[in-house]
Structure 1
Amino acid sequence: MHVPDGFLDAPTSIATAGVAVAGVALALRGARRELDDRTAPMAGLVATFVFAGQMINFPVGAGTSGHLMGGALAAVLVGPWTGILCLSVVLAVQALLMADGGITALGTNITLLGLVAVAVGWGVFVALRAVLPKRLSMVAPAAAVAALLSVPASALVFTGLFAVGGIAPVDLGTVLTAMLGWHLAIGVGEAVISGLVVAAVVAARPDLVYGARPLLEKRELEIRSARGVRA
């Protein structure tokens, strides 16, 4: 969903740039609570994986492109604030060094892929984690559903931005149909990939998955309590 230059007017691009700057600034502060000796190396791996996934780009019509986003995956693996930083770095490198996404639209792309996708993905994941059985096996399905919903959510926000400040000669209905139609399909693919990646990491090293930490802490407390009772 890399937005190109000249797709939105200057006021809208400036507004989204302001939102992106504010979001990244908050993420820099919030990431201090998430980063540790386990999360920091994982963040680099997540950024690399997302970068590679987003390079598989294809047009979806109306002048925009579609690809995997990785917002929900990053949030579940390294935390929402660190996930925002990972996505922002990836998008900045792509725009500045690879001409993937417009430079004037960098704020828009960070807002959509770095803020909206991560926020929606993390919010859905936390909500599902609260209602699903408190087992590690539920982390991957929750991450998959979060990824599925985060993709069309970002597409819908983009359509709203285009309705407000779109200057490309494309009908709003065409943009809405192309974005939501294709990104619902992309969301299914992203759900499968996110679920498989999270499941693999949970199976090997659940302590590396930020979204699984509350479940691990609860399990440790239950083990300690059981030992105390036996004693």
Structure 2
Amino acid sequence: MHVPDGFLDAPTSVATGAVAVVGVGLALRGARRELDDRTAPLAGLVAAFVFATQMINFPVGAGTSGHLLGGALAAVLVGPWTAVLCLSTVLGVQCLLFADGGITAIGTNITLMGLVGVGTGWLVFCIARRLLPRKLALVPVAAALGALVSVPTAALAFTLLYAVGGEAPIPLDTLATAMIGWHTLIGIGEALITFVVASAVIAVRPDLVHGARPLLEARELEIRTVEADA
């Protein structure tokens, strides 16, 4: 999923760079409402976990590679705005220190994985959390659904960008088949990992999971109501 230099033309790279700058700027403001003394260390752990999983790349054909994204998991654990910052930091380090993703394509990669991936994963998670029974045990299920959808959606977004400003000598239909097809399979693997990690954290410290807070607050309200009635 890491886009290299020269894959997209200059106008497309500049446009996605501008989108990335705006998105990260908004995330810096939004993360202030999500982070506190308890959750800040978890954000660092999430960034480290995403960094490790994204460094495992494998070719998927048409000159592209695939890997886990981690956007949905990060959004559920530490909040969508903080997740954008985690992904952006990881992508910046990978680009500058490990040559994983082009320097001219850093805005594209942040847009695809940090904005589209996180945003889609969080949106699907919120919808699933609303539709599923309001039980804490189902939060990992909603998180897994978010991860399942976020990966092929990010791949589709890249395919659309390539259709607009692709520079590599690769036919669009070949690239689309490789990217969307393989990343659908990757999405299944990411959904399983997201479910396992989210379940483990909720089992130990559910109060640290951003996506579980509405359910915990509703539970506390019910307990207080019962005590007041008694």
| TM score, norm. by length of structure 1 | 0.99
Aligned counterpart, 1:176:
176
Say which SS state the counterpart of residue 65 (structure 2) adopts: strand
Q: Give yes or no for the alignment of 1:146 onto 2:146.
A: yes
Structure 2: how far apart are the matches of 1:38 and 1:66? 33
The equivalent residue for 1:5 is: 5
Q: Distance in 2 between matches of 1:227 and 1:188?
A: 44
Deviation at 1:64, TM superposition (A): 1.4
Report the counterpart of residue 67 of structure 2 in structure 1: 67
Give 1:7 shift: 0.3
Q: Is the 1:117–1:150 Cα contact (8 Å) retained in structure 2?
A: yes
1:37 CA displacement: 1.3
Residue in structure 1 matched with residue 56 of structure 2 by the alignment: 56
Distance, in Å, in 2 between the alignment partners of 1:5 and 1:18 is 17
Structure 2: distance between partners of 1:11 and 1:143: 35
What are the Cα deviations for residues 37-72 of structure 1, in whole angstroms up to 9, with x where unaligned?
A: 122111000000000000110111122110000000
SS at match of 1:65: strand
Task: Give the aligned partner of residue 45 of structure 2.
Answer: 45
The 8 Å contact of residues 67 and 186 in structure 1, kept in 2 or not, is answered as yes
Following the alignment from structure 2 to structure 1, what is the Cα–Cα distance between the partners of residues 3 and 63?
Answer: 8
**Are the counterparts in 2 of residues 56 and 67 from structure 1 also a CA contact under 8 Å?**
yes
**What CA distance in whole angstroms lies between the structure 2 residues aligned with 1:65 and 1:24?**
25
> Which amino acid counterpart does residue 41 of structure 1 have in structure 2?
P
Q: Distance in 1 between matches of 2:103 and 2:194?
A: 28
Aligned residues: 230
CA contact (8 A) 1:152 1:183 kept: yes
Gaps of 5+ in 1: none
Letter in 1 for 2:56: I
| 1:185 lines up with 2:173 in the alignment | no
Q: Deviations over 1:144-194 (max 9, x none)?
A: 010000000000000000000001000000010000110000000000000
Q: Secondary structure at the match of 1:45?
A: helix
Q: Give 4+ residue runs of structure 1 displaced > 6 Å after superposition.
A: none
Partner Cα separation in structure 2 for residue 196 and residue 204 of structure 1: 13
Contact 1:68 1:186 in 2 (8 A): yes
Provide structure 2 residue ranges, at least 5 long, that are not aligned to the other structure: none
Deviations 1:67-103 (A, max 9, x none): 0000000000000000000000000000000000111
Equivalent residue of 1:8, what SS?
A: coil
Structure 1 contact 144–191 (Cα < 8 Å) conserved: yes
The answer to whether residue 25 in structure 2 is matched with residue 25 in structure 1 is yes
State the distance in 2 between where 1:39 and 1:11 align: 38
Measured in 2, the distance between the counterparts of 1:46 and 1:169 equals: 36
Give the alignment's TM-score, normalised by structure 2.
0.99
Counterpart for residue 227 of structure 2: 227
Q: Tell me if structure 2 keeps the 8 A contact 1:4–1:64.
A: no
Matched, 1:84 2:84: yes
After superposition, give the CA deviation of every residue in 1:94-126 in whole Å (9 maximum; x if it has no partner): 000000011111000000000000000000001
Whole-angstrom CA distance in 1 between matches of 2:170 and 2:60 = 13
Mapped to 1, the partners of 2:131 and 2:188 lie a distance apart of 22
What secondary structure does 1:195 align onto?
helix
RMSD: 0.5
